[in-house]
Amino acid sequence: MTTQLTFVAPRRAKPPRHLADLSMAERRAAIAELGEKPFRADQLSRHYFAKLTGSVADMTDLPAGSRERLAAELLPDLLTPVREIACDDGATRKTLWRLFDGALVESVLMRYPDRVTMCVSSQAGCGMNCPFCATGQAGLTRNLSTAEIVEQVVAGARALNSGQVPGGGVGAKGAGRVGGQGGNRVSNIVFMGMGEPLANYKAVINAVHRLVDPAPEGLGISARHVTVSTVGLVPAIEKLANEGLPVTLAVSLHAPDDELRDTLVPINTRWKVSEVLGAAWNYAATTGRRVSIEYALIRDINDQEWRADLLGRLLKGKLAHVNLIPLNPTPGSKWTASRPKDERAFVHRLESHGVPVTVRDTRGREIDGACGQLAAAPDR
Ligand code: SAH
């Protein structure tokens, strides 16, 4: 007799299903399956997306008997806060979250007098391996689900709502409401936290729908105030252009020449600068949206004037704007930000080609919450 051992690879558990994973039609179907009236989907959605209700006890328009069950089935806890650190007198807060399976991600909320920007993660870790970015160093753990992305925003909106985030300016009204203008609601979302959003395409697109769909279907944030930042996954940029979602596309270019970009953004060995920019111009033409070209200025690596000239020639006359990011320090990296005089010269060179340029502020740097610093290590 022989015994046969069959190796069964462990199936990776998925995050529990959540209301924010589902479209309105899917919510109604899910609720009907639970033996409840489909209109309960609208009520539940209003609580979650419009009122940002976090507690089942407050959902008094739902029958007491159904409340607990609906919440258990459709509003499971997906994010557990592990640590919160703040700077800028509390107006910038970084939260480290533990997900259902122990994976860790971070999100950052930045409150300004006229707006509130949330920087969200789309993956636990990242597989893109850019050497100057802290997230890339530990590799990819997994993709986040749609609801795990949306919950980061809802958590930020609730924190604003409950007065936990100072810095809204004088006469702050409507605190905590989502969408619209003003520094009292989450008005802007940037997919610039951990992960490569276009490598988790479906969940990210669904999350964008939840963010921009009007309440109570979604949070009602303007699509123009949502920025998806990518290393340059060309087929996914092309797909995004045809989604009918006028989000802002940001391309992490960091070098105008393939020789250097191959080393700074390793996926460049697959899709070259010319292909990435080609996809960006196609995105601009299809959506009418100005593309943001991200360029982290790294001392003596990519900050030479000739590179600014080359970049200026590539971008001249295009629907584009350059966002220069002074390199933020990351552990173990030998690189540092450009000298102020080199940064100024870089800006001037670009401007001489008629290319609009801004230098990004370094909000959150002292709490390792700025661009490229999110590493989700519990001891940092
Ligand atoms: N994976 C996506 C989104 C996350 S990073 C992307 O690469 O676009 C958000 C931005 O921060 C990107 O432009 C990224 O290149 C930049 N970045 C990464 N590390 C950085 C660092 N140490 N200093 C400044 N910017 C950094």
Cα–chain-centroid distance for residue 113? 21
| Contact of 145 with 14, CB cutoff 8 Å | yes
The residues spanned by each domain of the chain are: 19-74, 80-367
Closest listed residue to residue 85, CA positions, set 100, 74, 96, 69: 96
Residue 311 main-chain phi, psi, to 5 deg: -60, -45
Separation CA 89–CA 187 (nearest Å): 20
Distance of CA 255 to the CA centre of its chain: 22
pLDDT block averages, 10 residues each, the chain of length 380 = 54 88 97 95 96 89 90 96 92 96 96 94 97 90 98 96 74 45 82 98 98 97 97 98 96 98 98 98 97 98 98 98 94 92 98 96 78 71
Q: Which residues contact 285 (CB under 8 A, 6 or more apart)?
A: 319
Name the residue at shortest CA distance from atom 25 of ligand 1.
Answer: 371
Q: CA-CA distances (angstroms) from residue 105 to 2, 187, 326? A: 47, 22, 23
Q: Which atom from ligand 1 is nearest to the alpha carbon of 191?
A: 3
Q: Report CA-CA distances (Å) from 45 to 23, 41, 185.
A: 10, 6, 19
DSSP code of 298? B
Strand pairing report for 291-297 and 248-252 = parallel
> Thinking of the domain 19-74, which architecture would CATH place it in?
Orthogonal Bundle (1.10)
**Minimum-distance ligand 1 atom for the alpha carbon of 128:** 1
**Residue 264, ligand 1, Cβ within 6 A:** no
31 CA distance to ligand 1 centroid (A)? 40
H helices present in the chain, as ranges: 24-33, 40-45, 64-74, 146-161, 201-212, 234-241, 258-264, 273-287, 305-315, 340-352
How many CB atoms sit inside 10 A of residue 241's CB?
A: 19
Active site residue 106: yes
Best residue for ligand 1 mutational test, from 325, 333, 336, 360 (most atoms within 8 Å of Cβ): 325
Give me the residue label for tokens 């909320």.
109
Q: Are 215 and 51 in contact (CB under 8 A)?
A: no
For a mutational test of ligand 1's pocket, the pick from 192, 263, 336, i.e. the residue with the most ligand atoms closer than 8 A to its C-beta, is: 192
On whether the CB atoms of residues 219 and 153 are closer than 8 A, the answer is yes
Looking at the DSSP bridge assignments, the partners of residue 98 are 80, 104
Does the Cβ of 106 fall within 6 Å of ligand 1? no
Indicate which residue's Cα is closest to atom 5 of ligand 1.
192
What is the model's pLDDT at position 174?
43
Which residues does residue 226 pair with via DSSP β-bridges, in sequence order?
189
Q: What is the C-alpha separation between 354 and 192, in angstroms, rounded? A: 27
Cα separation of 82 and 99, whole Å?
10
80-367: CATH topology is: TIM Barrel (3.20.20)
**Do 19-74 and 80-367 agree at the fold level?**
no
Q: Which of 73, 106, 148, 217 is catalytic?
A: 106
Q: Is 231 in the pocket of ligand 1 (CB under 6 A)?
A: yes
pLDDT for residue 329: 86
Closest by CA to 248, choosing from 297, 201, 196, 208, is 208
Torsion on CA atoms 209, 225, 236, 370, rounded to nearest 10: -120
Q: Please give the number of the atom of ligand 1 that sits closest to the Cα of 196.
A: 1
Instruction: Report whether 102 contacts 124 (CB < 8 A).
Output: no
Peptide bond into 216 cis (omega under 30): yes
Ligand 1 within 6 A of CB of 233: no
Q: Is 371 assigned a catalytic role? A: yes
Coil, helix or strand at residue 47 = helix
Atom of ligand 1 nearest to the CA of 133: 19
Name 25's Cβ contacts closer than 8 Å, sequence gap at least 6.
Answer: none
Return the pLDDT at 180.
42
The CB of 338 under 6 Å from ligand 1? The reply is no
129, 110 Cβ separation under 8 angstroms: no
Determine the pLDDT at residue 6: 56
Four-point Cα dihedral 216, 180, 193, 351, nearest 10: 150
| pTM beyond 0.75, yes or no | yes
Alpha-carbon torsion, ordered 262, 239, 17, 215, to 10 deg: 120
